[in-house]
Structure 1
Amino acid sequence: MQVEQYRDALLLLMVSIAAVNDLAARRIPNRLLLVGLAGALVLHGLSGAPGAALLSALGGMSLGLGLFLPFYLVRGMAAGDVKMMAVVGFFTGPTAAFQIAVITWCAGGVMALLVVLLRSRVRLVLANIGHLLCGLLVPGTKLADTTLPQSAGSMPYGLAIALGTIAVLVTRYG
């Protein structure tokens, strides 16, 4: 088995544990992400071209963080989800991290729609979207001024990240 396969197996294990934990406790443990990050670092270091692998890993981490951080800043996502996507990017590099992010957004959108419909929160969601848009479009409005009066509910976004990661890994291995 090549180093890349070990890395993908470790990634699959990490996102699976994170998804289960996020479903059960609505938390993604920092310790899990740190262990995953350390494992990926070791495996990148053992690859045929460790310098290129580590550079790609840093690019993937930066991309994962950069793509998900804005959602955290507008309170649309928890910090654990952002950190998880950054670690996933460290495992995969920028190209796969971008693919995973796009699939994750699609899976997260479907999950959010299901949560809103099942909880009968459509009016509240529309009101919150209007509140956010008004706050963001009015000149001089600070990010703190866009605080929502009431949340439409949370969802375990770690599950969406895991689904996106698994989808990309499945396509890689057929």
Structure 2
Amino acid sequence: MSTEQILLAVVLLGLLGVAVACDLRRHRIPNLLVLLGMALGLAGQSYADGLTGLGNGALGLAIGFAVFLPLYALGGMAAGDVKLMAMVGAFLTPYASLSAALSCLVVGGICGLLIVLARGQLLQTLARYGLMIRARAYIAPAVDEVASQTFPYSVAILLGTLASGLWWFVVLL
């Protein structure tokens, strides 16, 4: 790994740390943070690899955005999470961005499952999903159900990005 890549990784992780703190505290990810991160990611990519790096960063941004956008459109994710994943993509190559986005989705699913298990609502949640499959319609969760409460998805984005980065680091060694 080059010095530029290490610096980009440190900046990305710092920005993700701030995003997680904001999300946990206020359930919002500031647009200014995301825009600053996108600009820093694209500038860093450009500095490290010229126009090729800028193109990789722009494509990585688009991939991160495109993977999470359908989840926002279906109501399963907030807009800030989509923008945050796009910011992550700006720091990465297209392949690494896709890998990170998919890792974030897997980690988010694991986090959701762990929350359901911790609250003792596994059977209740499975029953509701079974009803939805049979009815072929969405059934809103009850107010006391864990599925009705927000989840700070920035945590899954941070952990998924770390897992993906570790994977790419190990593969490139």
After superposition, residues 50-89 of structure 1 pair within 5 angstroms as: 50-89=50-89
Q: 2:161 aligns with which of 145, 159, 165?
A: 165
CA distance in 1, matches of 2:131, 2:7: 46
Q: Which has the higher contact order (CA 8 A, sep 6+)?
A: 1
Structure 1 position 147, deviation (Å): 7.9
What residue number does 1:104 align with? 104
Q: Distance in 2 between matches of 1:17 and 1:53?
A: 25
State the secondary structure of the residue aligned to 1:156: coil
Amino acid in the other structure paired with 1:15:
L
Number of aligned residue pairs: give it: 163
Distance across 1 between alignment mates of 2:129 and 2:81: 21
Q: Is the 8 A contact 2:42 2:58 kept in 1?
A: no
Shift in Å, 1:119? 3.2
Match of 1:14 in 2: 15
Q: Distance in 2 between matches of 1:166 and 1:149?
A: 31
User: Would you say the 8 A contact 2:100–2:165 is kept in 1?
Assistant: no
**What is the TM-score of this pair, normalised by structure 2?**
0.82
Distance between the aligned counterparts of 2:29 and 2:152, measured in 1?
9
| Residue 152 (structure 2) aligns with | 156
Q: 1:10-31: CA deviations, max 9, x gaps?
A: 1111111112222222221111
CA contact (8 A) 2:45 2:56 kept: no
Which segment drifts farther, 76-85 or 8-17?
A: 8-17
Change over 3 Å in CA distance of 1:147–1:61 after alignment to 2: farther
Structure 1 pair 117–55 and aligned structure 2 pair: CA distance change class (3 A): same
- The root-mean-square deviation of aligned C-alpha atoms, in Å, is 2.3
Cα offsets for 1:136-162 (capped at 9, x unmatched): xxxxxxxxxx58365522211100000
Q: Distance in 2 between matches of 1:76 and 1:125?
A: 17
> Mind listing any 5+ residue stretches in structure 2 that lack a counterpart?
none
Q: Secondary structure at the match of 2:28?
A: coil
Q: Conserved in 2, the CA contact under 8 Å of 1:61 and 1:86?
A: yes
Of the structure 1 ranges 33-42 and 121-130, higher mean CA displacement relative to structure 2 is found in 121-130
TM-score under structure 1 normalisation? 0.81
Residue 73 (structure 2) pairs with residue 91 (structure 1): no
Structure 1 segments unaligned to the other structure (5+ residues): 136-145
Q: 1:129 to 1:30 in 2, by over 3 A?
A: farther
Bigger CA drift: 30-39 or 123-132?
123-132
Shift of 1:127: 2.2
